[in-house]
Amino acid sequence: MTYLKSTIIILIIFSFAFNHCLNAQGPPPKKPIQLEELTIAQIQKKYQTGEFTIQQVVQTYLNRINEIDQNGPALKSIIMANPDAMKIATELDKELKAGKSRGPMHGIPVILKDNIDTHDKMPTTAGSRALSNNFPLQDSFIAKQLRAAGAVILGKANLSEWANFRGMKSTSGWSGVGGLGKNPYVLDRNTCGSSSGSSVSVSANLTTVAIGTETNGSIVCPAQTNGVVGFKPTVGLVSRTGVVPISFTQDSPGPITRTVEDAAILLSALVGTDPTDQKSLESKGHFHKDYTQFLKKDGLKGKRIGLYAAPSKNNKEVTSLLNRAITYIKSQGAEVVMVDEILKPETSQYEMDILIYEFHQGVNDYLKTLSSSVKVKTVSDIVAFNKKDPVELNYFGQEFMEIKPVSKSEYKESLKKMFKGSLENGIDRILKKYKLDAIMSPTGGPAWKTDLKNGDTFEIGSAGPAAIAGYPNITIPMGFIGELPVGISFFGTAWSEPVILQIAFAYEQGTKHRRIPKFLR
């Protein structure tokens, strides 16, 4: 069979599978149900009263994916819906009818970024056509946790291919498998990435919640650009086993939701030590099985928060929104203190050497775990595949895959210097110097126009310090510039999720900046 014929067959299979699982899941709900903006707690209440069944909720979301994501505005946030979604919903309904609930996530639909393994009828592609037939041999730790909690894995989300670590001048939200995703607020604007589809699907009410992954900004940037909450936990709080890697040092999966409370509920279902992930073992004694206990409307009272304003200095509109946020935070009894630069420039330079080294090692190790049907076995195989593929290199290159990593000794030296710069001389220095509970900063600016020729245009970004340190970072809506949302971030030291959630929840409850997108053209 020629390569072109095999490519066409793969695309036909993807198209058939997607439409089949959307349109052949079973009969539509007996009566239309309204799911827009409903939280986990609100859906659970309707399950308890019998107003909703899990099957109704799942089918309604599948219908919305068909109407809005694949047709209508054609957001392209979902690569594939789960063919077993209705079957899972039916079984979970039976459990509820028998008086058994597995907890707050029972019957709650979740979209997974398509770099997270699921052992089912959905491949895990990382957006790459080289992995189109990658059907993992087992669930990721995340998928196991979600299934045990009674969640319905609704489908796999589109993403910036290889979590946006393939080449220069990349366009966030594009992958060879899923195509180009669109921002639900204004369709010609970018989604940011790499957790683009996870963020868009939550914002457009195609699911209740979603999971993204972050190495440096890949949860918080798309979450803020699409007007939702994104929470990147301390590295190790959520296991990375079964997640297509970039960096052992920095990778962290986390919740993407419409509310801070939902982020806390979802995080509670994800945590737990995993012996196959060394970083996860470090979370022992630091994780909580119920993060909602830390949510208090007066959670800003008495807090001392550092203001890292440098990212917004060149954007007057973002600065204006930030000043309003500061005014509100102070009105709630918190003290806001201006802080100096968190990281020295060379710290980010060490990061790139580390990422390239760990990406090559991590992806090669991941590929070894796959079935024999996956033909690429090394990063070099992926490079060769992409050069022959008619789609993969249409818009940007694969420099990060082709570049030779530094030596092991150079890598270890860079790691030592980066940790010293980001921890001892970075966030921890700032927290200690100013006696802070947390640091806040604008997450980013409004979404830029998508440009497949020149790639992304980042004007503002504050994800770096927490990402490089491996520390928690949450973004929530701060307001709008025109029709485009902008977020505010709160971040702190290792394992400070309870404090970060408390601050974010209190700010959210008093401001309520979240708006439903209008799909403007």
The model carries a pTM of: 0.95
Q: How far is CA 293 from CA 287, 290, 492, in A?
A: 13, 6, 19
The predicted pLDDT at position 29 comes to: 47
Marked catalytic residue, from 199, 218, 414, 422: 218
Q: pLDDT digits over 346-385, tens only? A: 898 899 999 999 999 999 999 999 999 999 999 999 999 9
**Helical segments of 239-315, H only:** 260-270, 278-281
Marked catalytic residue, from 77, 140, 175, 194: 194
The predicted pLDDT at position 22 comes to: 52
Q: How far is CA 199 from CA 190, 191, 251, in A?
A: 12, 8, 18
Count of CB atoms within 10 A of residue 225's CB?
A: 33
| DSSP secondary structure, 125-194, as one string | -TT-GGGTT---SS--HHHHHHHHTT-EEEEEE--SHHHH-S-TT--TTEETTTEE---SSBTTB---SS
Split at pLDDT 50, 70, 90, the class of 506 is very high
Q: Is 33 exposed, middle or buried (0-12, 13-18, 19+ CB in 10 A)?
A: middle
Whole-angstrom distance, CA of residue 173 vs CA of residue 160? 5
Split at pLDDT 50, 70, 90, the class of 4 is very low
Catalytic status, residue 280: no
Average per-residue pLDDT for the chain: 94
Split at pLDDT 50, 70, 90, the class of 417 is very high
Query: Would you say domain 3-511 falls under CATH 3.90.1300.10?
Result: yes
Catalytic status, residue 172: no
Return the amino acid letter for 377. K
Give the chain's count of helices (H) and strands (E).
18, 13
Residue range 135-162: average pLDDT?
Answer: 98
Catalytic status, residue 194: yes
Whole-angstrom distance, CA of residue 142 vs CA of residue 278? 15
Split at pLDDT 50, 70, 90, the class of 345 is confident
Output the six-digit token pair for 90.
């039916």
Percentage of the chain surpassing pLDDT 90?
92
Sketch the domain layout of the chain as residue ranges: 3-511
Marked catalytic residue, from 113, 144, 232, 303: 113
Q: pLDDT digits over 5-44, tens only? A: 344 344 444 444 454 455 444 444 456 699 999 999 999 9
Q: pLDDT digits over 441-450, tens only? A: 999 999 999 9
